[in-house]
Amino acid sequence: MSIISINDLVKSYHDSAVEVHALNGINLAFEEGEFTAIVGPSGSGKTTLLNMIGGLDKPGSGTILIGDEDITQFGSRKLIDFRLHNIGFVFQSYNLIPVLTALENVEFIMHLQKVPKDKRLKRAIELLEAVGLGERVHSRPSKLSGGQQQRVAVARALASRPRFILADEPTANLDSVSTRNLLEIMEKLNHEEHITFIFSTHDKRVVDKAHRVIVLEDGKVVKDDQFQKNA
């Protein structure tokens, strides 16, 4: 069974007197363990689609099933709680809390989930070690490079044990070395732990690593290719 099923998804905005169709009848399904890139020109609907899947915005019409639950029918409180326990996010701008250390940033979502302190501390350390930051657990974001901050963001996204991770332009602010390191970590997590990643990206380096590439234009799916990657 698909972990995400999207049916006839439509989202429109009004720009002055003109109605703009950001998403225009999207139908897609995602399986567990995918490593998928959603691509297309600016304004094609990539980020809008990710925001819809993540419950950060509501469609005009259509359904988004995560498992067997249609999140488009959720009220705001239920949606917040659902995101907390089911969806991990990695943003272009990192979105770390500047006054917290790397360890505390990763712990924070588990604190919201009411995970006991000893368990969340153990998991946060394990995740930071998994992304190569075991020696920087007590560093605040200002003391970390962009690539290191994004790795903290990946560890934080994993902390809640989500069904899948949505990554919106996660490499946009990174140099080539940091991008390569980040993608290697994500690939490893996908391959070894079967963690599902869905990217919105312009970055060819991300696209080249993807097992599936979905192309959007004018809010529509115009191409959907799957590739067999070497193990």
Q: How many helices (H) and strands (E) in the chain?
A: 7, 10
The answer to the question of residue 65 being in a domain is no
The answer to the question of residue 1 being in a domain is no
The answer to the question of residue 203 being in a domain is yes
The answer to the question of residue 172 being in a domain is yes
The answer to the question of residue 38 being in a domain is yes
Per-residue pLDDT, 93: 87
The answer to the question of residue 67 being in a domain is no
Q: Residue 192 sits in a domain of what CATH number?
A: 3.40.50.300
Q: How many domains does the chain have?
A: 1
Determine the Cα angle at 178 with ends 177 and 180, to 5°.
Answer: 65
Query: CA-CA-CA-CA torsion for 60, 55, 142, 183, nearest 10 degrees?
Result: -100
The answer to the question of residue 60 being in a domain is no
Query: Domain range holding 140?
Result: 34-55+75-226
DSSP letter string over 169-216?
Answer: STTTT--HHHHHHHHHHHHHHHHHH---EEEE---HHHHHH-SEEEEE
Pick from 15-29, 142-156, 161-175, 207-221: least confident: 15-29
The answer to the question of residue 11 being in a domain is no
pLDDT digit string, tens, across residues 75-102 = 999 999 999 999 999 988 889 999 999 9
Per-residue pLDDT, 19: 77
- 110 pLDDT above the threshold of 90: yes
DSSP letter string over 32-55?
Answer: TT-EEEEE-STTSSHHHHHHHHTT
pLDDT digit string, tens, across residues 129-175 = 999 999 999 999 999 999 999 999 999 999 999 999 999 999 998 99
- 14 pLDDT above the threshold of 70: yes
- 113 pLDDT above the threshold of 70: yes
pLDDT digit string, tens, across residues 48-81 = 999 999 999 999 999 999 999 999 999 999 999 9
Per-residue pLDDT, 108: 95
pTM of the model: 0.92
Per-residue pLDDT, 27: 97
Q: Tokens 């962009």 correspond to what residue?
A: 146
pLDDT digit string, tens, across residues 163-199 = 999 999 999 989 999 999 999 999 999 999 899 999 9
- 10 pLDDT above the threshold of 90: yes
